[in-house]
C-alpha cells in the first residue's frame, strides 16, 4: 500500500468506534496504556460528535479498498486557536508520508478558518510524531512528567504560530 492509495473523508457512522478501538489497541501495544486511555478517546469523540462546530473537522484516511488507515481531528477551543486531536496512523502506513499529508491538511484548514495558532498535546515517547511536528514548524512549549494510563510518561504541549 502506498500514500497514493489513500484519500481523506469526513467522519462517517462506524468511524468513531474504529478511532477508539485503534487508539486503545495501539496505545496498549506500543505504550502499555491501560483502558483509561481508551476512555479518554471515547470522551473526546463523544464531545466532538455532540458539539461539533462549523470549523471542527475530522479527516479519516482510507485506502482504495475503503480500509481506514489513519485519522486526525481539529477542534476550536477558542476563536483563534485550532487544536489537533486523536492523530493516528496505522502501523503499515507509518513512514509513507501519510502523517505529513494529514497534518498539512489540518494546518491548511486551520489557516483557512482564521486560526492564529495550532496546539496539540502528546507524549514524549511519540518521537516520530515529535520530529514531524518540529519539521512542520511547531515549537515544544511545555513538558510535564506524569503517571497516566498506568505508565510513567512525559506529556508535551506543542504550538504552531500561523
Structure confidence by residue, pLDDT tens digits, 113-143:
999 999 999 999 889 999 999 999 999 999 9
How many Cβ atoms sit within 10 Å of the Cβ of residue 146? Answer: 12
What is the helix, strand, coil percentage profile of the chain, to 5? 40, 35, 25
Contacts of 145 (CB under 8 A, 6+ apart): 152, 153, 154, 155
- Cell reading at 19: 478511532
Sheet strands (E) in 98-150: 117-123, 139-148
Residues of the chain with pLDDT under 50: none
pTM of the full predicted structure?
0.95
The residues facing 19 across adjacent strands are none
Cα 2 versus chain centre, distance: 20
Please report the pLDDT score of residue 5 as a whole number: 83
Amino acid at each position: 500500500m502506498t500514500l497514493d492509495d489513500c484519500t481523506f473523508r469526513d467522519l462517517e457512522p462506524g468511524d468513531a468506534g474504529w478511532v477508539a478501538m485503534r487508539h486503545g489497541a495501539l496505545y496498549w501495544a506500543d505504550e502499555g496504556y491501560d483502558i483509561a486511555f481508551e476512555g479518554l478517546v471515547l470522551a473526546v469523540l463523544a464531545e466532538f460528535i455532540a458539539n461539533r462546530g462549523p470549523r471542527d473537522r475530522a479527516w479519516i484516511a482510507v485506502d482504495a479498498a475503503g480500509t481506514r488507515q489513519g485519522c486526525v481531528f481539529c477542534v476550536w477551543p477558542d476563536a483563534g486557536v485550532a487544536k489537533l486531536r486523536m492523530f493516528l496512523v496505522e502501523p503499515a502506513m507509518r513512514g509513507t508520508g501519510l502523517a505529513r499529508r494529514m497534518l498539512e491538511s489540518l494546518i491548511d484548514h486551520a489557516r483557512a478558518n482564521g486560526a492564529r495558532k495550532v496546539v496539540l498535546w502528546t507524549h514524549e515517547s511519540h518521537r516520530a510524531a515529535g520530529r514531524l511536528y518540529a519539521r512542520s514548524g511547531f515549537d515544544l512549549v511545555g513538558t510535564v512528567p506524569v503517571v497516566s494510563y498506568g505508565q510513567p510518561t512525559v506529556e508535551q504541549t506543542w504550538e504552531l504560530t500561523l
